[in-house]
Amino acid sequence: MSLRGTKQSRHPDRPISSHALNEGRNLPNYFPVLTGVRALAAYLVFISHYEYAFDGSLPQGVKRYLQEFHFGVTIFFVLSGFLIAYRYYNNFEHSWHWLGKYIRNRVARIYPMYFLLTIGTFIYYYYSGDKTIVGDFSNPLGLLALNLTFLRGFFNDLKFTGIAQGWSLTVEECFYISAPFIFYLAKRYKLFWVQVLLLTGLGFLLVLMFGHTGWYGFFGNDTFMMVYTFLGRCFEFFVGVKLATIFLKKRITSSETPKFTYSGLLLVFTAPLIMSLLTIPRGWTAGLHNPRGIITNNYFLAIAIALFFYGLLTENTWLKRLLANRFVELLGKSSYIFYLIHLGVVARFLQWGTDKLNDQVFQLYDKLNLDWHSPFENDTLNVLWLFIALNGISTLLFKLAEEPLNHLIRQTPPQPLPKGDGLST
């Protein structure tokens, strides 16, 4: 006999019925403001990877600060914890039928575009021989399999192969697989935070067991485990889950006093400042990799993000209206593709195109005997062009590929989005 949660909603990836859950309480079905937050998170990661564009124009301290904007990944993790728990915490069944539908929905959300872009990346490697895609791995087909199955994310030496930023999808998938069991243990045995201790402890145990085996850095060291694996970063998801359980238990009211939104936002942007002041350990690239940086990013920052989310969902602010704007919402829906292509083959092709345009502009100037500046000679402007182009490509791919494939795999027709943010009482 399977353990069953509350009766499932007819739509397999939407929140359960407010009647089924809360005896008639009107819970929102959709949060446009959190979709907008996805765009914010992706853009923060973009800034962290392209801060070099400000060489010579910004003080070194400011550049170090921008380098720590990788915390957009932490925003994604806390957000995933919140949304998955909000949809499924009171709506799960320990049965193969339910688990199959749940996994299908999660695959539909992440896998199609990742699969297509990863295949494209390795095709590019086949013709270009670009070693940044395969690193020191001697078997490209084997590495392709490790990338397509997300297994490369468990190996320190392979984590940046293929789509480099795709390491975070291994972390996401581990949470997706674990979530029903996390919910079960939390509801049945009242084990919630203790699971964080057990998971993190398991991570340190795996490092102790395999850290010196030389298997391409399989759980190679404590820093890798804490920064790049679910076992080290599980607290971020648990914070999101806890925030969701708060919303599922209490009536959501709208406040005109923005005490959580802006205080949370201030704390969120304090975290990268702290990390930027830390010494970068040898062999690593950011203050995040400092032990104090890990604590700041994985724990302090996660709590700050949860406070920020609580404010966005319960307070009426201009920031909430901005993030819930229809245009920003569209950018948020396409931000997953933006995240996947902001580094790698697509970004390199766009940068190559910018360089070619710059050469052609100067050739034209030479013919016309002009001594003008090219609009493509400035690194800062080039990063702006890249940012705009990546958003345009992401939006097109979302509409033409990701959204249709998502609905095809779920076997559901496209659903119109509800108007508003669903938070009015």
Specify if 134 maps to a domain.
yes
The total number of residues shown for the chain amounts to: 425
pLDDT at residue 356, rounded to an integer:
94
Specify if 302 maps to a domain.
yes
- Residue 162 in tokens: 């293929």
pLDDT at residue 26, rounded to an integer:
60
Specify if 355 maps to a domain.
no
Q: How many domains does the chain have?
A: 1
**412, 11 in Cβ contact below 8 A?**
yes
The greatest distance separating any two alpha carbons of the chain, rounded to the nearest whole angstrom, comes to 83
Q: What are phi and psi of 91, to 5 degrees?
A: -145, 45
pLDDT at residue 30, rounded to an integer:
85
Specify if 335 maps to a domain.
no
Average pLDDT per block of 10 residues along the chain, 425 residues long: 38 37 58 96 97 87 96 98 95 84 91 97 96 93 97 97 97 96 94 97 98 94 98 98 92 77 97 97 95 98 98 95 96 98 97 93 91 88 95 97 92 49 30
State the residue range of the domain holding 70. Answer: 18-330
Specify if 36 maps to a domain.
yes
Specify if 247 maps to a domain.
yes
Neighbour tally for 318: CB within 10 Å: 9
Specify if 383 maps to a domain.
no
| One-letter-per-residue 3-state SS of the chain | CCCECCCCCCCCCCCCCHHHHHCCCCCCCCCHHHHHHHHHHHHHHHHHHCHHHHCCCCCHHHHHHHHHHHHHHHHHHHHHHHHHHHHHCCCCECCHHHHHHHHHHHHHHHHHHHHHHHHHHHHHHHHHCCCCCCCCCCCHHHHHHHHHCCHHHHECCCCCCCCHHHHHHHHHHHHHHHHHHHHHHHHHCCCCHHHHHHHHHHHHHHHHHHCCCCCCCECCCHHHHHHHCHHHHHHHHHHHHHHHHHHHHCCCCCECCCHHHHHHHHHHHHHHHHHHCCCCCCCCCCHHHCHHHHHHHHHHHHHHHHHHHHHHHHECCHHHHHHCCHHHHHHHHCHHHHHHHCCCHHHHHHHHHHHHHHHHHHHHHHHHCCCCCCCCCCHHHHHHHHHHHHHHHHHHHHHHHHHHHHHHHHCCCCCCCCCCCCCCC
pLDDT at residue 321, rounded to an integer:
95
- Return d(Cα 196, Cα 165) in angstroms, integer: 24
Specify if 146 maps to a domain.
yes
Instruction: Name 218's bridge partners.
Output: 155
